[in-house]
């Protein structure tokens, strides 16, 4: 059973910072891509940032220069540092990971989400 658990969301004023954390547990051997997506009310879920096991990163244009992503491969954790937050960053943020058991692809796994609210 693979579990994905996020933490670190909350309420912050515009211009402030938050750091999201995510840990993946269970019977897995490795994770290739980890990342963060978000979904605002009435909108589709969208990519925020991803990072591969060899640290290649990808960011949505809307967060470039403000958000950074990092991971701890030994602990199966991924982090999202969010700076200069804007009200439009308000959303539920979901952690994502693709898990492998040795070379066998197990599937994509998602957390339950953590709310980030940025007040103006």
Q: What is the pLDDT of residues 41-84, one digit of tens each?
A: 999 999 999 999 999 999 999 999 999 999 999 999 999 999 99
Strand extents, DSSP E, the chain? 3-7, 10-13, 18-25, 30-39, 46-52, 57-59, 67-72, 77-82, 91-101, 104-110, 114-119
Task: Place 120 in a pLDDT band, splitting at 50, 70 and 90.
Answer: very high
Mean pLDDT across 84-112:
94
């Amino acid at each position: 059973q693979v579990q994905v658990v996020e933490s670190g969301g909350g309420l912050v004023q515009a211009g402030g910072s938050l750091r999201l954390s995510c840990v993946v547990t269970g019977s897995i051997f490795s994770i290739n891509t980890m990342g963060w997506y978000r979904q605002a009310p009435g909108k589709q879920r969208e990519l925020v940032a991803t990072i591969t096991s060899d640290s290649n990163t990808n960011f949505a244009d809307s967060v470039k220069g403000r958000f950074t992503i990092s991971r701890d491969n030994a602990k199966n954790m991924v982090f999202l540092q969010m700076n200069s937050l804007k009200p439009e960053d308000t959303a539920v943020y979901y952690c994502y990971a693709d898990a492998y058991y040795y070379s066998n692809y197990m599937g994509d796994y998602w957390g339950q989400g953590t709310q980030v609210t940025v007040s103006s």
